[in-house]
Structure 1
Amino acid sequence: MAQIVEPEAGIDPPSAVEAVVAQMRALIRERKLGVGDVLPSEIELGAMFSASRNTIREAVRTLRAYGMVESRKKVGAILVDGRLGAMTDLFSFAMEISADTFRDIQGFRRLTEMNLFDVIVGRIDDAGFEALAALNAAMAATASVAEASELDYRFHRRLIDAAENRTLSDIYAMLEPVIRRLMEVGKSRREALHAVAVEHADILLALRQRDRIAFSYHMNRHLDAGLQFFAVSAKADQQPEPAGRAVREAS
């Protein structure tokens, strides 16, 4: 006869839904399911866990709230990873864009991108170099500030992804909105956009030539370049309004 284990004093036993959620998470681990895989149907899950269909539906809703699954018609519950997107939105909303933010973010990028040289040169191939060059050419050709910033980010993200470090790639994905907003500063100036394209080309050449010193020099110079535009913006904000304009607005 099976022994009944009483819950510890002061600890509420898990509800039926919580118990099924725990079982579903265990099932995902045991079957090594990943993003894009489909969970068993509600009927199958109910039979597996001896639970009612309503309990299974509530458990699926709980996993959906956690950002772990997404329900699709005629398909069922599909595993997703919405947690990173939620973190990205929160981080971007809370981050103030300023010269101090620029220094902090670029400092983080300097510690990562500049120290990936050996890993990148050991893994990037001709196709990778061509893809980077194409992104740089497209960035130099566009007249859209938003598109130029997106292509600039994709250039650096491709360098990061070449290291094949999933955690680092996830961190850069989380930082994307903030990095792109920093990149937009000054990109309305054509000379600044041209300078970025030249700096990218220098970084690529250093990688092709497997020149660590040149890579570090050009990457460091590139990551510092945008700070001047924050200084220009700050001075513009502090400029007093022309006397004539102030009088006109007051009248």
Structure 2
Amino acid sequence: MTAGTLHPTLAVFGRQLALYRRLWQASVFSSFVLPVLFLVSIGIGVGRYVGTLEGVDYLAWIVPGVLASTVLQISMGESTYAVLGDFKWSRAYHAMRATPVRPVDIVCGHLLYLVLRAEVAVVAFLLVVVFFGGLHSPWSLVAPLVCAVLTVATAAPVTAFAAAIDHDSYFALLYRFVVIPSTLFAGVFFPVEQLPAVVRPLAYASPLWHGVELCRAATLGRVTAWPPVVHVGYLLLWAVGGVTLAVLAFKRRLED
């Protein structure tokens, strides 16, 4: 590779950024405005009736939940139709494979772009939350790092799934039986401990719950019920496993 040659992963990342520069206006509402409106309506509106939860006002309690769930929505949105489309409709991945770009470069470039997308939304959201008094600890600065890991932990397996299917109807099932239940029952709006004991393991199995717990510990400045290393390790397990599956799925599909 010559000094002026861009690394293949960065080349894929640059391609994603070039596309996003043309389409960024369409994502502003879902990535930033909608979470803020949701925070105001639920955190302040419903919060007046809820009062405090676990010793803090409800607004501050749901901030990390809305933050983590926003990351989940971005990860899912950019790893479903976008990935399948570049395989099936635009065949952009096949064009990349005709160059020195390897499947692992495509996957890593895609995930690097998603991390940047998520981090921009996370930082913007946290800056707004400061004016609502929703951050109670300087450890809030750790939340973007947690969200970066959560992005890969959720986007990588979905990317693998999108690369393995041939019809977008499967995404409706993914959103209906994975994304929506995860958002509702992963500690975003109420403590998981309020769920029936038989249902709690499903919440614990969700990467979103672990991300919410870590973000909540950071924004509220308190320790988690489970050791932080367990939460981080679980997210890393999903991230590494998802990347491995995604690379294998891309290799298999691009060889067809």
**What TM-score range do you get, normalising by the shorter chain?**
under 0.3
TM-score by length of 1: 0.28
Greater gyration radius = 1
More helix by share: 2
